[in-house]
Structure formats: C-alpha cells, structure tokens
Amino acid sequence: MQRAGEAEDKRRICLRPEGPSYAAARSRTSSSIYEADSVSGRYQHSTFSFERILNEFSEWYISCITIKDSIINQFKILKQRGKFFVDKFMRVNMTTKEISVEPVPDKYAPLGGRALTSQFVLDEVEPTCEPLGPFNKLIFAPGLLSGTNAPSSGRISVGAKSPLTGTIKESNAGGVASQKIANLGYKAIVIEGQPAKGEFYILKITPDGAELLPAGDVAGKGGYETVNMLKEKFGPKAGVIFTGPAGEMLMAGAGIGINDPEGNASRYAGRGGLGAVMGAKGLKAIVIDAPKTFDVPVADKERFRAAAKKFADILLGHPVTGQGLPAYGTNVLMNIINEAGTLPTRNFSSGRFEQANEVGGEKLAEACNARGGKATHACHPGCVMRCSNIFVLPDGRHMGSLEYETAWGFGPNLEISSLDDVGMMNYICNDVGLDTIEAGVTLGVLMEAGAIPFGDGKAAIAALEEVGKGTLFGRIVGSGATFAGKVYGVTRIPAVKGQGIPAYDPRSCRGNGVTYATSTQGADHTAGYAVTANILKVGGFVDPLKDEGQVVLSRNLQIATAAVDSTGLCLFVAFAVLDNPEGLPAVVEMLNAMYGLSLTGDDVVALGQSILKNELEFNRRAGFTKAHDRLPEFFYTEELAPHNTKFALKEEMDELVNF
Amino acid sequence: MQVEVRVFCGLEKCIPGARFGQPLTVEMPDGTTGYGLLEILNIPRENAFSLLVNGAHQDFNEVLAEGDRVSIFPPVGGG
C-alpha cells in the first residue's frame, strides 16, 4: 500500500542503512509483511522492500518528538507563558531529608520518560560513582503523554547508574504511578544522597506537597504487604512505588515495584538492579495520592480527543494489539518462539522445549479464567491493549500478571513445565522484589553449576525463598546471573555487561543478539526488539538465522525504542503502528495537540540518536568500550538445536553505534 | 503423505476435538501446500498468519513435505 507523501518522508529519514550489511540487505529486496488493506480493512500479507521497512521503523519513532533547537525554544516560550501543567521538578535529598520543588529546567522541558532520565543521569551522575553510594541519583519520570487520556500512555521511566551492569540504566514499567505523578504536575522525582545505614523512609506525595516519613514497620516487608499497609494508611487509591527486601539488602538483581490498578504489587521496573539503588537511598516506598488520572491539561482539547480516539481505534483494530495481546497476554509468544526453535532451554542449551505449551499463553489464559483471575487486564488505567493478566495461585492468592519472559525464565530455561511452579516463583519475586528475568537466568546458571537440579520446580522455589531470608545462598540468587556464575565457576553465563539475556536465543534470533550485545543497557530484549521482524513478521521480515540486515535492524529499532520510551506510550503500540500508515501521524497529532507544537518527522533521528548518544557517552565515561559489546563466548562456539546455528557477528556490530 | 501439525491461539477451535499445541498427524495428498493444509483443517485463510515448517517461516503457497513439523499461528506479538 502506498501512503501519501511517502517519497517526501523517505527523503527526510536519515537512518539509511550503510556499509556491507546494507548492501546485503538490499539484495534481499522483498519481504512479507502484515498490513491492513485500506479498502476491506482486512489484514493480509503484502510485499515490501527492506528499505521501506527500515524507514517505517525510523519514521514512526521520530515523529513522536524532536529535540531540535527550535522545538526546545518553542517549549521555552510556552513554559514562560505558563502553558505547561507538568512543570515541577522534585528533588529529595536523603542525606539532609530536604525536599525541594523547582521549575523544570529549560533543557528538560521538551523531554519525558527515557529521554529525560538518560539526559539527567548523564548531566548529574558521576559515571565512575559507586552505584549504591551517595553520589548515584535515582530519577522517576512519566512519559510526555502520561496523565492524559492518550491510550496506553501510562508508562514510567526509572533511571540511575546500574549496580548490576555499571552502565546507565532506564527501566520502564506500567502500573498506576506515572499518571498520578503527571497529574500532580511533576515532570520528575529525583532521589539524591544517602541516609545513615539502616534508615528507611516513605516519600509521601499529595496535591499539597511532599514529605519524608519514617518507614517504621513497613521496612523489611514484602511487596504485597507493603502495598497493602500503605494503601490502608494512605487510602485505597494510593499509588505505591516500592523496593522489596532484596533491594533493601542491596542485591543487584532487585527491581522497583509499582502497584497495578487492583493494588497487586506486580508491575516492575525490573531490570538493572534499580531496586538496590532505591534501597541504598533508604527509600522503602513512594506513595502518590493523586485524585486525578487523565486530567493533565492539553493545549487543544478537541484536537487531542480526536487524535486519541483515532489512535485507540488503530490499536483495537490491529489483530495483535486488539485481539492476541488481550486474549493471551505477552505469553502468547511462548509457543511461536518455541516452534521457531529460538526458545532458550536448559540454560541456553537448546532452542526448543517440548513442554513449552504447558507454560504458554493459551494454558495461562485457561488457568486465569478457571481460578477467578483475569486473562485480560490493563496494567495501567486507560490501556486499550490490556495484555496484563491476574494469575491466581492454587491456594487462592492473587499473584498479578505472569509475563512471557517470566514464564520462560522459570519454565523452559529451567526445564520446568508446571505453570503453578512458575507462578509461585513469580509471586516470590514480586514479594521479595527481584527482577524475574534476572532471577530466571540466575537459577539457570545455578542449575548449570549443579547447585540445584534442572527441572526441579520445588528446588527453584526454595532457592528464591532464600533471598528474603538474606542467607548466603539467597544473596547469591539475588545478585544476578553473572555474579552467581562466578561464584560457581560457570563459563556458560548468558549475560552481557552483567545483565542476563532474556527469552530469545541470539543464535536463532540474531537481530536480538545484536541488540543484547550493543544495547547501552546490557542484555535487554526491549531495547531493540528484533523479534518483530525476525520471528513475528511484524514490520517486515529479516531471516533470523542469517546475519544480513541484523545490525541495521537492531540499530533502527534501538533508536526508535528510545524515542517511544520517552512518550509514556507502551512499546507494544509499535505492533499496530508499524502496520498502519495512520498510526504514526496519530501519535504526532497527540503530541502536537497536547503541547501546541508543530512536530514533524524531520528530526526523528536526532531525537532517538540523541538519547542513545547520551547513554553511550555515560557508558564511555564509566569505562565501557566496544570490547564490551560482545555476546558470551559460548554463543560463538556452541551450536543451538534445532537449527544448529552459532552466533558469528563481532566487529560488524561496532558499526551500530557509529552515528 | 503425513505431516505433524500444531495449531495455536484459537485456531484449534476450527478443528473438532483439537487442543492448542497438541500434535495432529494429518494425512494429505503429495503436493499439498500450506493453503491446502488450511483447507483440510478448515482454518479460514484470513485467520492464519504465520506458517512455520520445521522451525522456519514458509510461504503458504509452498508445498509441504513428508514428515514436516508444521505450526500455524494467527498474528501474535508481545515481549
């Protein structure tokens, strides 16, 4: 399908693939893509050029926001006229216990989410600092559209230097916090300094201001109890951001939890050990009391409402975001990743697990419905994709959402095929405050070491229960895969820059392999989710078993993702936007209507690239080089069944960050 | 010839008695394509999106072979 102005759009896009990879990619010439027929509205296969696909990725993204000087100036002028509601910047000094609220600095005015957290961390955090010391800073930032009724726009970015990787970190989560913070007018909440050891506090934020309160008996409590206690004390509608016992004990695998609309302690900014940074700040929880969710003022209400409605229709009209995700959740992936032979099994020893179906999305949906949970659930108010769920344990406890990467990490990765065992492990992680991906990869490494047996669900559960007790073994489990592997002398540690590799084996999903190796975040599947084009045939097709095109694919996705992570939109909107020519304009229209701007796609590259450049610069100053942009050795030397392929890309990947 | 077929994500509802992910042995004439298999299984073309044959994407117009492991999916995404 041709779209109006396509030729002109292409001229503007600077993300042209270059070098040998591009030449090879061009020679492929065409790919199958899933696209809506403009006449019938039915989705069907059609044929597209590889170049077109790449442009689609870049184009979408950039249009979201730009940070060229003229835009910054526009923001500045609007700000001076008092046009912005979300105009406050809160700093909480945990050393002095002082809270200050200042106007948003001009340079941060056009930024949100990841664009803001990464710029701020580069500006204010010494790259060589101790991540768990007083000089690291933790920043929470809603996305640019958060707090409005833009569909699926309630994501929050959390940034700091990571104790797990030593790199910059942006961890992204749903839950109710982002919209509440935005509706109180805060662009960001920054946590600085450090209290005396053993002191823990609650930061309470209301429409009247903020105060630090002693955590009292909430300190040391698990996630579920923490949320319940704080909601009892501060009201049933309070939003709670918390760290669990693992974070309080400064374990590098700890995440930061956020309650979902039902109050389950189940949404996590999981990756990178930011829960330990929160623990090191002596901050047990942030409680947000905001009476409003969707009421951040927008410049042009009617225009915004129309764009938001159109965008919701686009999401609901696409079979992935409108049907597959609501029905089966993210775990809908389990079977297709398994059938494609890229499901890491037995600590990345095989690409297929014959019992994968037992822990897949279809089985999960059945279990949720049979036990009074929910197979379809929104992780934050106003999400129309509703890919979350509420899994209920056999004893009736509501666990919260079981996601694909979690089901993989505690399932096939450990050769465990009991959904209830997987659910129990997820529950323990939510409660003790661990990133489920890092925990799953760590358990795989410990099984590789022989510390616990492969396939033994009960032993895996017992290992995770040690974390909350703070035993030596529990601390090993909670400290991440790389540390655990070193303790036991394991050489097959699936991690990059200290962070565990998630649920897609890089040998047979090579685009994601490039992302794992080169991401500024350490191994991170969402940083450049090449599974789309490698396996799912969304946004084109690039053969997952070949090297051609993977570096370019990953680069464009990483740039695009950095931009999406700045809007507050869930990354999953990409599934629909990539297939619908009206998707991108709808996103741009929402931003323009909200801020009274005239954004175009001109500086897409500048935006996404600028975020990555900031992150790369921080990492460079922290001591990272291209030598760190490699996969572990065994991916280059061991073949993966069933395709019997190895990973081969090395120096070719160095081109990725040359922009 | 025979192929081993798995269907997922609701496509199993097109086949009486089938369950998602359970292997079905399908007997069919030599030369049957992916689309031909959909007809045999009573799965509407518009409901099927990905055809994986022995772990690799294959066009629905291509001919299947004896003993193939065939997996059929509607559009899916997540992550």
* Alpha helix segments (H runs only) across A5-150: 6-12, 19-26, 50-64, 69-80, 113-124
Going by pLDDT thresholds of 50, 70 and 90, the confidence category of residue A602 is low
Helix and strand numbers (H, E) in chain B are: 1, 5
**Contact criterion met (CB < 8 Å) for B50 and A536:** yes
Q: Kindly give, in sequence order, each residue whose CB lies less than 8 Å from that of residue B28, ignoring residues fewer than 6 positions away.
A: B1, B2, B3, B36, B37, B40, B64
Write the residue in B21, B55, B77 that is nearest to A362 by C-beta: B21
> What is the ipTM metric for this complex?
0.98
- Percent of chain A, pLDDT > 90? 79
pLDDT (tens digit per residue) in A224-272? 999 999 999 999 999 999 999 999 999 999 999 999 999 999 999 999 9
Q: In which residue are the tokens 């036991």 written? A: A488
Per-residue pLDDT, A192? 98
> Is A276 or A262 the better-scoring residue by pLDDT?
A276
Is any Cβ of chain B less than 8 angstroms from the Cβ of A55?
no
Nearest residue in A to B60, CA atom: A45
- Residues in chain B within 8 Å Cβ distance of A387: 78
Nearest residue in A to B6, CA atom: A339
Going by pLDDT thresholds of 50, 70 and 90, the confidence category of residue A92 is very high
Per-residue pLDDT, A61? 41
Distance in angstroms (rounded) separating the CA atoms of residues A363 and A391: 11
pLDDT beyond 60 at A28: no
Per-residue pLDDT, A85? 82
**Contact criterion met (CB < 8 Å) for A538 and B71:** no
Mean pLDDT on A602-623: 85
Based on its alpha-carbon atoms, the radius of gyration of chain A, rounded to whole angstroms, reads 23
Whether the Cβ atoms of residue A304 and residue A298 lie closer than 8 Å to each other: yes
- Give the count of Cβ contacts less than 8 A between chain A and B: 112
pLDDT beyond 60 at A171: yes
Q: How far is A456 from chain B (nearest CA, A)?
A: 23
A109-119 CB burial, b ≥16 within 10 A, e <16:
bbbbbbbbbbb
**Contact criterion met (CB < 8 Å) for A319 and B74:** yes
Going by pLDDT thresholds of 50, 70 and 90, the confidence category of residue A403 is very high
* Nearest one of A615, A657, A604 to A58, comparing CA atoms: A604
Is any Cβ of chain B less than 8 angstroms from the Cβ of A247?
no
Is any Cβ of chain B less than 8 angstroms from the Cβ of A331?
yes
Q: How far is B30 from chain A (nearest CA, A)?
A: 24
Q: Looking at chain A from residue 513 to 532, which residues have their Cβ under 8 Å from any Cβ of chain B?
A: 525-526, 529, 531-532
Is any Cβ of chain A less than 8 angstroms from the Cβ of B6?
yes
Per-residue pLDDT, A550? 97
Is any Cβ of chain B less than 8 angstroms from the Cβ of A340?
yes
Nearest residue in A to B78, CA atom: A330
H/E segment holding residue B4: strand B2-7
Is any Cβ of chain B less than 8 angstroms from the Cβ of A353?
no
Chosen for mutation from B5, B58, B76 (greatest number of chain A CBs closer than 10 Å) is B76
Classify A655 as helix, strand or coil: helix
**Contact criterion met (CB < 8 Å) for A321 and B77:** yes
Classify A643 as helix, strand or coil: coil
Per-residue pLDDT, A81? 58
**Contact criterion met (CB < 8 Å) for A336 and B52:** yes
Q: How high does pLDDT run on average in chain A? A: 89
- Residues in chain A within 8 Å Cβ distance of B69: 339
Distance in angstroms (rounded) separating the CA atoms of residues A580 and A582: 5
Classify A434 as helix, strand or coil: strand
Mean pLDDT on A396-401: 96
Q: How far is A332 from chain B (nearest CA, A)?
A: 7
Per-residue pLDDT, A583? 86
Per-residue pLDDT, A601? 55
Going by pLDDT thresholds of 50, 70 and 90, the confidence category of residue A579 is confident
Query: In the numeric block, which tokens belong to residue A154?
Result: 């309630």
Per-residue pLDDT, A105? 92
> Is A39 or A530 the better-scoring residue by pLDDT?
A530
Nearest residue in B to A504, CA atom: B79
Nearest residue in B to A529, CA atom: B79
Of the listed ranges A21-25, A480-484, A516-520, A619-623, the least confidently predicted one is A21-25
**Contact criterion met (CB < 8 Å) for A357 and B21:** yes
Per-residue pLDDT, A44? 40
Write the residue in B21, B55, B57 that is nearest to A537 by C-beta: B57
Is any Cβ of chain B less than 8 angstroms from the Cβ of A408?
no
Chosen for mutation from A338, A536, A580 (greatest number of chain B CBs closer than 10 Å) is A536
Is any Cβ of chain B less than 8 angstroms from the Cβ of A330?
yes
Q: Is A481 left (phi over 0), alpha (psi -120 to 50) or beta?
A: alpha
Query: In the numeric block, which tokens belong to residue A555?
Result: 């680069």
- Residues in chain B within 8 Å Cβ distance of A404: 78-79
* Alpha helix segments (H runs only) across A67-150: 69-80, 113-124
Q: Looking at chain A from residue 302 to 321, which residues have their Cβ under 8 Å from any Cβ of chain B?
A: 318-321
Mean pLDDT on A501-525: 98
pLDDT (tens digit per residue) in A479-496? 999 999 999 999 999 999
**Contact criterion met (CB < 8 Å) for A538 and B10:** no
pLDDT beyond 90 at A29: no
> Alpha-carbon torsion B22, B76, A423, A250, what sign?
positive
**Contact criterion met (CB < 8 Å) for A336 and B55:** no
pLDDT beyond 60 at A9: no
**Contact criterion met (CB < 8 Å) for A572 and B55:** no
pLDDT beyond 70 at A303: yes
pLDDT beyond 80 at A600: no
Mean pLDDT on A105-127: 95
**Contact criterion met (CB < 8 Å) for A339 and B71:** yes
Is A488 exposed, middle or buried, given 0-12, 13-18 or 19+ CB atoms closer than 10 A? Answer: middle
**Contact criterion met (CB < 8 Å) for A323 and B50:** no
Parts of chain B with a pLDDT under 50: none
**Contact criterion met (CB < 8 Å) for A339 and B55:** yes
* Nearest one of A494, A531, A496 to A511, comparing CA atoms: A531
Is any Cβ of chain B less than 8 angstroms from the Cβ of A502?
no
pLDDT beyond 80 at A80: no
**Contact criterion met (CB < 8 Å) for A537 and B77:** no
Nearest residue in B to A319, CA atom: B75
Nearest residue in B to A408, CA atom: B79
Q: Is A101 left (phi over 0), alpha (psi -120 to 50) or beta?
A: beta
